[in-house]
A and B are shown apart, each in its own frame.
Chain A
Amino acid sequence: GAVVSQHPSRVICKSGTSVKIECRSLDFQATTMFWYRQFPKQSLMLMATSNEGSKATYEQGVEKDKFLINHASLTLSTLTVTSAHPEDSSFYICSARDTGGSEKLFFGSGTQLSVL
């Protein structure tokens, strides 16, 4: 199946720093990518929808100035957590849909962010 690569898989940072997470579709083009967040023992919660060449659409309660999303190409979307704080510690997961028409969404392996 299609592969979505997410990097890094784990990051530890100090409070106040910014962290960038990359999401790449390796063998297909993705006009749309989605970013999720998952806290321990909870389900995935959609944060934002990333559209290539345009501004991302954020879910209610997600601060767009804190979670910066860039989708500059058909194979790459990035999520930057700006001025991270301990409460931002979470598992971040991206997904992408094959622009070629598949109904399936493919997921990255996730990024565990720990803010000290």
Chain B
Amino acid sequence: DAKTTQPPSMDCAEGRAANLPCNHSTISGNEYVYWYRQIHSQGPQYIIHGLKNNETNEMASLIITEDRKSSTLILPHATLRDTAVYYCIVRSSGYSTLTFGKGTMLLVSP
């Protein structure tokens, strides 16, 4: 699976949009971009995933560049409960597991 690069940490004010970037320049054509988050002392939680098109669900939006070499996870109105480590993972379809990098520690402050 392709590697990803994320900033180690980011800050966001409560109520503002949090935009978390991810670089995956070596992504191949059959690899999806997944985002998970891990709140302290809990298991990872699925957020969203996509292949080419932008995606939106009740938690977040995922913007993937046309060349698919990078993506941005957007939390439109961050709350204190969104404070977590966010992992961007690229994974081929099928039955493979997820390989976690170091992620981005997002701190949402009042």
Contacts and interface: CB of A to CB of B under 8 A. Distances in A.
A44 B102 CA distance: 9
Contact of B46 (A44, A105, A112): A105
Interface in B27-43: 32, 36, 38, 41-43
The number of chain B residues touching the other chain, given as a range, is 20 to 34
Contact of A6 (B43, B45, B95): B43
Contact of A43 (B41, B42, B97, B101): B101
B44 A107 contact: yes
Contacts, number: 48
Contact of B44 (A1, A44, A49, A97): A44
Contact of A93 (B44, B87, B93): B44
18 contacts: A34-B97, A43-B87, A43-B101, A44-B38, A46-B97, A46-B99, A95-B44, A95-B97, A97-B95, A103-B32, A104-B46, A105-B46, A105-B97, A105-B98, A107-B36, A107-B44, A107-B45, A109-B42
Given A6-B43, A36-B100, A108-B43, 4 more contacts: A44-B100, A46-B99, A105-B46, A107-B44
